[in-house]
Amino acid sequence: DTLWDLAIAEVEKRENPAAHDDVKPGEVWEKSILFMGNKNGGKTTIILRCLEREESPKPTLALEYTFGRRARRHNTPKDVAHFWELGGGTSLVELIRIPITSHNIRSFAVVLVLDLSKPDELWTTMERLLQVTRNHVNKILTKLEKTNPEVAAEIKQRMWNDLQRDHPDYALVDPFPIPLVITGSKYDIFHEFDSEMRKIISKTLRFVSHYYGASLVFTSKSEVLLLKARALINHLAFGYDKSKSVSVDPSKPLFIPAGLDSMSQIGPPPASDRDLGKMRANTPLELWKKVFEKTFPPKSFCDLQDTKDPAQDIQYAEYEVDVMRAQKNQ
């Protein structure tokens, strides 16, 4: 290599240390991202935007897969990002076992899309999806500790990467085992809410994101907001530079990359001291949940009931198969 090549390589490495640790020159970098969240919450729209595809989103059935490719530099092999999308809200959450495996756990990330226009479903959806995902990832890590302890140690170390050891909240958080981005969708509808309601939802999501060591971004169909979400997702998918900008103003869309918030900035749960005194909670997360659900009682909803029979869906029509089925049913 000439001195010039070495200088370019050095600058690239400095700008993006995490992306190039594991990838040797000429090697293809592969990452996988699982999108999950509320039904009709806008997951497909975000994926299409990240991949710069001009097509209208169709409803997602069960688990869908697509991929994107980008070249890091001119004349280099293209990097690949695998995008998985879990449909059906929380009803099919067990399917996460298919994309997240011990082979790709090192390069896996999760994007949780929460519909800001439905606060009564927000906590339930978030809790269920994150719990099942975390349990599954922890099972994989336990197995890896026996078969490949270096990788398991590296993943556990990486959980803390976004939080410097001198961060005042180092002892108060419980990072998610793999990179996580929490996306609040439909900001345009949310923006019309009463300012007190907006404040409670924003503060709660800031707390949850910070507690899990996740990034938080609010988005809608507006191009500007989609670009912000895309920047965070492209960092995970293709190792693009991380955005350093932060927006914590509750009257504007939130944008907080992982590790750049703090409990002191978020403040206590939005409830009076009297109410807080009455609430019994073992962990800060539980306390925030109680405060949130006091304002937005969770809607008891059963996702399974509204999972339509895909065989009746026009987008999956197959003439010969349908005729045979009709005959069999008869």
Q: Above pLDDT 70, what percent of the chain?
A: 88
Domain count, the chain: 1
- The better pLDDT of the pair 98, 227 is held by 98
Cα(327)–Cα(330) distance, integer angstroms = 5
Locate tokens 């999501």: which residue? 205
Residue 20 has a pLDDT of 47
**Domain enclosing residue 268, as ranges:** 24-309
- Is the residue at 3 inside a domain? no
Q: Fill in the amino acid letter for 132.
A: V
Q: Of 16-25, 183-192, 279-288, give the lowest mean pLDDT range.
A: 16-25
Cα(103)–Cα(135) distance, integer angstroms = 17
Residue 96 has a pLDDT of 78
Closest alpha carbon to 53 in 236, 276, 230, 207:
230
Q: What is the mean pLDDT of the chain?
A: 79
What contacts 69, CB < 8 A, 6 or more positions away? 78, 79, 80, 81
Residue 8 banded pLDDT, cuts 50, 70, 90: confident
105 HSE (CA, 13 A, CB side): 29
| Mean pLDDT of the region 77-87 | 83
- Is the residue at 320 inside a domain? no
Q: How many CB atoms lie within 10 A of CB 81?
A: 24
Residue 307 banded pLDDT, cuts 50, 70, 90: low
The torsion angle over the Cα atoms of residues 65, 70, 76 and 82, rounded to 10 degrees, is -20
CATH number for position 90: 3.40.50.300
- Is the residue at 193 inside a domain? yes
| Mean pLDDT of the region 257-285 | 78
pLDDT above 70: residue 309? no
Q: Of 79-93, 171-185, 232-246, give the lowest mean pLDDT range.
A: 232-246
Residue 300 has a pLDDT of 65
pLDDT above 80: residue 131? yes
- SS3 assignment for 114-138: EECCCHHHHHHHHHHHHHHHHHHHH
pLDDT above 70: residue 295? yes
The pLDDT tens digits of the residues spanning 188-227 come to 888 888 888 888 888 888 888 888 888 888 888 777 777 7
Q: Please give the model's pTM, rounded to 2 decimal places.
A: 0.76
pLDDT above 80: residue 50? no
Residue 223 has a pLDDT of 75
- Is the residue at 10 inside a domain? no
Q: Of 25-29, 63-67, 250-254, give the lowest mean pLDDT range.
A: 25-29
- Is the residue at 1 inside a domain? no
- Is the residue at 167 inside a domain? yes
Tokens of 106: 């090192």
- Is the residue at 11 inside a domain? no
The pLDDT tens digits of the residues spanning 148-172 come to 888 888 888 887 776 666 677 777 7
- Is the residue at 147 inside a domain? yes
Q: How many CB atoms lie within 10 A of CB 90?
A: 23
